[in-house]
């Protein structure tokens, strides 16, 4: 197949037919801002922020980089005066129906609209007027939808339909009345939503936000640790977000089996237990006469365990002991557990919960 020749901000690039301008720009390292675009899905083309100027055969036109395909000879300008003006205009219009009291917004500091307005120097709208004033849907226990902060980019809808495949939400009504909602305007909690939170992760503003954000601000996260989800065997990759030595949230990573998606258990059910008050903090030894546990030192507990196991082995033979491993734990833990059984108990009475 013959290649097309285009330039992006003067940088020549050869692309296959059907390549979008956004893809071509990414190939040569030119960053074009996007709000509604989700890589891998059909372009939504609704936010227009990726507008670029395309010059060809003496003509010049504006188009959205996410949806426009490259044509032979295109000279694409991503930061020309006309482009910057157009993007300012788009941001101006978005702000005409978006509050700017960012201090009290849970997404302050990680809002793409805020970042773009800052980058393009848009402080306020030049077209003040009526603003949406719709009720906030607070019904889902994990997240909140504030339609007044929604820019209708449809990232949540496209994520729910095309990536999650659940289809719990869609764009309801038309024009100024447009709103994202489950069917018939029913509360989120009563819909077929699975609370996976992938829509929340996709939201570029503060419209869909995790309620857990009340516990931290994005810039307070001290570190993000890439790890593997401890629930099912899909092996989703995610980051544990740590603040003050506590896990405060989870952010999906682009793992080979999850590709930036998570389920409700991975996103919300995988860290509260770490800091639960119910965690065991000391060895416990039971008084057989009372049936009560008492706290013990490691020294005492380990000595007791080792001596009791050895006594049983002496009295009843090697076959009288067994050790079960945990299939929720790491390979390294499990290897050492079976090694302990085989080398110290002197038998192969080891198994794991694969069967139960």
- Restricting to residues 267-326, name those near another protein by CB under 8 A: 268-276, 278-286, 288, 293, 296, 298, 301-310, 312-313, 316, 318-326
Q: How far is the CB of 224 from another protein (least distance, A)?
A: 9
- With CB under 8 A as the contact rule, the residue among 4, 150, 196, 203 that binds another protein is 196
Cα–Cα dist 302/242, whole Å = 32
Q: For residue 312, what are its two tokens? A: 């049983």
> Which residues, 82 to 121, sit near another protein by CB under 8 A?
none
> Parallel, antiparallel, or unpaired for β 4-8 and 75-77?
parallel
Q: How far is the CB of 275 from another protein (least distance, A)?
A: 8
Selected range binding another protein among 14-22, 50-58, 100-108, 336-344, rule: CB under 8 A: 336-344
> Which residues, 11 to 30, sit near another protein by CB under 8 A?
none
Interface with another protein, residue 356, by CB under 8 A: yes
Q: With respect to another protein, which residue has the nearer C-beta, 78 or 270?
A: 270
Interface with another protein, residue 219, by CB under 8 A: no
Contact 125, 95 (CB under 8 A): yes
Size of the site for another protein (CB under 8 A): 115
Task: Give the per-residue contact string, 232-261, with another protein (x = CB under 8 A; - = no).
Answer: xxxxxx--x-x--xxx-----xxxxxx--x
Q: How far is the CB of 17 from another protein (least distance, A)?
A: 22
| 352 to 234, 328, 337, 339: CA distances (angstroms) | 19, 10, 10, 13
10 Å Cβ neighbour count for 286? 10
- β partners of residue 111: none
Q: For residue 274, what are its two tokens? A: 């770490």
Cα–Cα dist 23/14, whole Å = 11
Helix (H, G, I), strand (E, B) or coil at 2: coil
Q: With respect to another protein, which residue has the nearer C-beta, 3 or 225?
A: 225
CA dihedral 95, 63, 33, 87 (to 10 degrees): -30
Cα–Cα dist 126/89, whole Å = 9
Q: With respect to another protein, which residue has the nearer C-beta, 27 or 161?
A: 161
CA dihedral 338, 341, 342, 348 (to 10 degrees): -90
> Which residues, 131 to 160, sit near another protein by CB under 8 A?
141-142
Q: How far is the CB of 28 from another protein (least distance, A)?
A: 21
- With CB under 8 A as the contact rule, the residue among 164, 180, 202, 203 that binds another protein is 164
Q: With respect to another protein, which residue has the nearer C-beta, 133 or 276?
A: 276
Cα–Cα dist 137/170, whole Å = 14
Q: With respect to another protein, which residue has the nearer C-beta, 177 or 315?
A: 315
> Which residues, 24 to 83, sit near another protein by CB under 8 A?
none
Q: With respect to another protein, which residue has the nearer C-beta, 129 or 165?
A: 165
- Phi and psi at residue 260, in whole multiples of 5°? 70, 10
- With CB under 8 A as the contact rule, the residue among 12, 190, 217, 335 that binds another protein is 335
Q: With respect to another protein, which residue has the nearer C-beta, 51 or 261?
A: 261
**Long-range contacts of residues 184-189, Cβ cutoff 8 Å, at least 24 apart:** 187/137, 187/139, 188/137, 188/139, 188/140, 188/145, 189/139, 189/140, 189/141
Q: How far is the CB of 139 from another protein (least distance, A)?
A: 11
């Amino acid at each position: 197949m013959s290649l097309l020749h285009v330039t992006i901000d003067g940088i020549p690039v050869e692309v296959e037919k059907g390549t979008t301008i956004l893809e071509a720009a990414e190939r040569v390292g030119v960053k074009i801002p996007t709000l509604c675009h989700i890589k891998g899905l059909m372009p939504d083309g609704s936010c227009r922020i990726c507008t670029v100027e395309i010059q060809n055969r003496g003509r010049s036109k504006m188009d959205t980089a996410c949806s426009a395909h490259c044509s032979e000879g295109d000279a694409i300008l991503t930061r020309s005066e006309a482009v910057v003006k157009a993007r300012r205009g788009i941001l101006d219009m978005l702000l005409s129906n978006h509050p700017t009291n960012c201090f009290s917004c849970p997404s302050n500091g990680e809002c793409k609209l805020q970042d773009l307005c800052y980058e393009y120097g848009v402080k306020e709208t030049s077209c003040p007027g009526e603003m949406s004033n719709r009720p906030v849907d607070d019904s889902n226990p994990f997240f909140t939808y504030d339609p007044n902060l929604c820019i209708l980019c449809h990232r949540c809808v496209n994520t729910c339909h095309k990536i999650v495949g659940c289809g719990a939400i869609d764009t309801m009504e038309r024009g100024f009345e447009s709103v994202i909602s489950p069917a018939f305007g029913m509360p989120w909690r009563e819909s077929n939503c699975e609370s996976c939170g992938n829509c929340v992760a996709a939201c570029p503003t503060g419209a869909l936000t995790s309620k857990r954000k009340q516990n931290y601000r994005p810039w307070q996260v001290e570190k993000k640790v890439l790890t593997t989800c401890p629930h099912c065997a899909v092996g989703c990759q995610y980051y544990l977000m740590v603040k003050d030595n506590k896990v405060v949230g989870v952010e999906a990573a682009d793992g080979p089996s999850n590709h930036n998606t998570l389920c409700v258990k991975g996103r919300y059910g995988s860290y509260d237990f770490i800091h639960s008050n119910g965690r065991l903090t000391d060895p416990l030894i039971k008084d057989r006469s009372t049936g009560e546990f008492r706290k013990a030192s490691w020294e005492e507990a380990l000595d007791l365990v080792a001596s009791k196991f050895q006594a049983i082995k002496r009295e009843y033979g090697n076959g009288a002991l067994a050790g079960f491993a945990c299939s929720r734990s790491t390979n390294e833990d499990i290897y050492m557990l079976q090694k302990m059984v085989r080398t110290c108990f002197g038998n192969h009475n080891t198994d794991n919960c694969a069967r139960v």
